Amino acid sequence: MKIGIVGLGYVGLVTASVLADRGHYIVGVDIDEMKINELNSGRIPFYEPGLQELVDKNKDKLIFTKDYGELLDSQFVFITVSTPTVNGKIYLDNVFSAATSLSKINKDSVIVIKSTVIPGTSRKIKKMLNREVLVNPEFLKEGSAIMDTIKPDRIIIGGDSEETIKFLEDLWSFTNSPIIRTSMEEAEMIKYAANSFLAVKISFINEIANLCEKIPNCDVNVIAKAIGMDKRISPYFLNAGLGFGGSCFPKDTAAITSFARDLGERLKIVEAAIEVNNERPFRAVKMMEELIGELKGKTICVLGLAFKPNTDDTRESVGLKIIRLLQEKGANILAYDPKAKVKDIKISSLDECIQYSQGIIISTEWDEFRGIEEKLRDKYVVDGRRVLNYKLLDRNKFRAIGLGE
């Protein structure tokens, strides 16, 4: 089939490449001319494991353009544009602008909303365009986005027309994943409920970590492993650390709590998860101060600028938040990340970062940071992601999230 993808960020480009690999002809549209030029030159504008190779493999089935006219005869058009939060509320102009631009495509084309939108948004688009619209939320994790598209835990399709839903079910049938049919509003809500629950789970274990730090001989990793063996809890998203960042959890939790307040409700647990998460960078800096004393004039190395490993995405990066707090206290900054590059922050090599600093804060759990205990012996270290073996380090110079003194 000919399939259109509007918005060529993580979700759009991964969806395009996977569907092209299934033999479909893909037209990717984006208003960012620089991004289109990069893609047409064979370069992926961000790092995602395996994506460059998948795009290269299917380049004969992928077209990238700014021209919505190329979508006129597409069987499906997925809207995958960004939905950021502005002043704590979701910003939907990108979605409505994309939908308006699709008003002239073939009436038999199925428009599918894959962008994360608050409940009721897709129905507004359906009324605006006077045509069937489906909601098909994504559940990708950066760093494993291709496999999450090929073999998702489940596929959610929300819509009013059984015939149109069946059409989209057939497209995703190659995944062999369970498919759940819902209303449009339920599909939109499922995405927010899932991300909010995971955010709550992360903040919960981080609060337990705070308590473990006050108790001798108590390690949150042991606690998390034990409770995660309970099938009702599961071990996923129970890694205590410096909290969540990235393009999804921060904006989605803000959007859904704001949406709830507009409806006269409060999501108190989700609000608490946000509050706990916002505190995490301050905790890391406080730990370093407790080890090294006044930070003014001290050189601190921050290891990890990407919000998580296996990506170069620095949106809502805890590492960057820590750097800003350190700078406010007068510290000199060195930084290293295997993939992420940030304007106005000098990126050293790993060895240089460690050698020329007095203190080290690990803010992203890259595998490259495991097993470097020997290099850190004479340094003050805050392990914000629990990647180090604390038994190999001087406990007078070492602090770790969730590890009792």
Question: What pLDDT, on a 0 to 100 scale, did the predictor assign at position 107?
Answer: 83
Question: What pLDDT, on a 0 to 100 scale, did the predictor assign at position 104?
Answer: 84
Provide the pLDDT confidence category of residue 380 given band limits of 50, 70 and 90.
very high
Count of Cβ atoms closer than 10 Å to residue 290 Cβ: 12
DSSP codes, 182-206: E-HHHHHHHHHHHHHHHHHHHHHHH
Question: Per the annotation, where are the binding residues for NAD(+)?
Answer: 30, 35, 83, 116, 142, 251, 315
Residues near 213 by beta carbon (within 8 Å), at least 6 away in sequence: 401, 402, 403, 404, 405
Residues near 378 by beta carbon (within 8 Å), at least 6 away in sequence: none
Question: What pLDDT, on a 0 to 100 scale, did the predictor assign at position 106?
Answer: 85
Provide the pLDDT confidence category of residue 389 given band limits of 50, 70 and 90.
very high
Tens digit of each residue's pLDDT (9 = 90 or more) over 126-156: 999 999 999 999 999 999 999 999 999 999 9
Question: What pLDDT, on a 0 to 100 scale, did the predictor assign at position 126?
Answer: 96
Q: How far apart are CA 106 and CA 102, in angstroms?
A: 9
376 has pLDDT over 90: yes
Q: Number of C-alpha atoms within 13 angstroms, CB side, residue 63?
A: 15
Instruction: Just list the catalytic residues.
Output: 248
Cβ pair 77, 4 in contact under 8 A? yes
Best CA proximity match to 117, nearest among 155, 75, 151, 89 = 89
Question: Per the annotation, where are the binding residues?
Answer: 30, 35, 83, 116, 139-142, 191, 237-241, 245, 251, 308, 315
Question: Per the annotation, where are the binding residues for substrate?
Answer: 139-142, 191, 237-241, 245, 308
pTM of structure: 0.94
22-39 mean pLDDT: 97
Domains of the chain: 2-180 (3.40.50.720), 192-400 (3.40.50.720)
Tens digit of each residue's pLDDT (9 = 90 or more) over 81-119: 999 999 999 999 999 999 999 988 888 899 999 999 999
Tens digit of each residue's pLDDT (9 = 90 or more) over 257-302: 999 999 999 999 999 999 999 999 999 999 999 999 999 999 999 9
DSSP codes, 274-340: HHHHHHHHHHHHHHHHHHH---TT-EEEEE--SSSTT----TT-HHHHHHHHHHHTT-EEEEE-SS-
Question: What pLDDT, on a 0 to 100 scale, did the predictor assign at position 341?
Answer: 86
89-90 and 85-86 beta bridge pairing:
antiparallel
Provide the pLDDT confidence category of residue 405 given band limits of 50, 70 and 90.
confident
Provide the sign of the torsion angle of the four alpha carbons 163, 164, 170, 172, taken in this order: negative
Cβ pair 6, 80 in contact under 8 A? yes
Question: What pLDDT, on a 0 to 100 scale, did the predictor assign at position 337?
Answer: 96
Question: What pLDDT, on a 0 to 100 scale, did the predictor assign at position 343?
Answer: 86
Question: What pLDDT, on a 0 to 100 scale, did the predictor assign at position 295?
Answer: 97
For 103, 144, 394, 395, the CA distances from 404, given in Å and listed in that order, are 60, 33, 14, 11
Provide the sign of the torsion angle of the four alpha carbons 387, 388, 389, 395, taken in this order: negative
Cβ pair 318, 281 in contact under 8 A? yes
Mean pLDDT of the chain: 96
